Amino acid sequence: MQRLNRYLAWTALIAAALVGVLRATSLRWWQVPLNDPELAASIAPSLAGGDWILLWNLTRPKLGDLVVCPDPDDPTNVVMGRIAAEAQSEVIINGQEVTINGAAPDIEYNCTERMFSVTDPDSLQEVELYCDMESLGGNLHMRGYGTTKKALRKYKKKVESGRIFLLSDNRLHPFDSRHFGTLDRHSCRERVFFRLVSKDGFFDAASRFSAVR
């Protein structure tokens, strides 16, 4: 028994040291803000407000990755979105439809749950949206869209040198580079890659321990 206790103690110590090294060099865990309905709506259905997620910063995020970046207007806050375009690319958004350099991302209709609900950041009412899968930069991820007549102005932008364009996964309630502008490529270093638990904790089985693409 003494030998077993010693083994468990050493195992726990090594695991704690490994987590400490990883946290210091390449990852951190972070909770999506609960008090920001605009941000929470924009990242649905991939994530939700209150989710505890893991962020990876050892390698440079690539096209299609969901990232967390400093807010260019307030470095104490963050913005989140998917890298949809890099320098010299042209982005055109017409309503909920997006084209990058004249081509629309491929769409597949195979979300596990075809419908999901989100809090409209304007009315603070629950609304139902549709989910499908979009391929952006070779990354197949969930996309949310709706059938309401909410006005979304047409947008066109050529991304400047050294900048990136972030796009919201929720196309009906976006908060992305149309609002805060393109971002310095080097300022966006943290990629979302894993959800630990939702705001409802461990017993929310549908949302715990899941990869985020």
At residue 2, the pLDDT reads 60
For the chain, strand residue ranges (E) read 27-31, 52-56, 66-71, 74-85, 90-94, 97-100, 106-108, 115-119, 126-136, 139-145, 155-158, 163-167, 183-184, 190-197, 210-211
Separation of alpha carbons 8 and 196, rounded Å = 24
Which tens digit of pLDDT belongs to each residue from 174-210? 999 999 999 999 999 999 999 999 988 888 888 899 9
Six token digits for residue 20: 């400490």
User: What pLDDT score was predicted for residue 212?
Assistant: 95
Q: Given this model, what pLDDT does residue 153 score?
A: 85
Return the domain boundaries, the chain.
1-28, 32-211
pLDDT for res 67:
98
pLDDT at residue 205, rounded to an integer: 87
pLDDT at position 207: 87
Collect all residues with Cβ–Cβ distance below 8 Å to 114 and sequence separation of at least 6: 130, 131
pTM for this one?
Answer: 0.87
- Residues of the chain predicted below pLDDT 70: 1-26, 149
Dist. CA 174–CA 121, nearest whole Å: 10
Q: What is the pLDDT of residue 6?
A: 52
CATH of domain 32-211: 2.10.109.10
| Dihedral (Cα; 64, 146, 120, 74), 10-degree rounding | 30
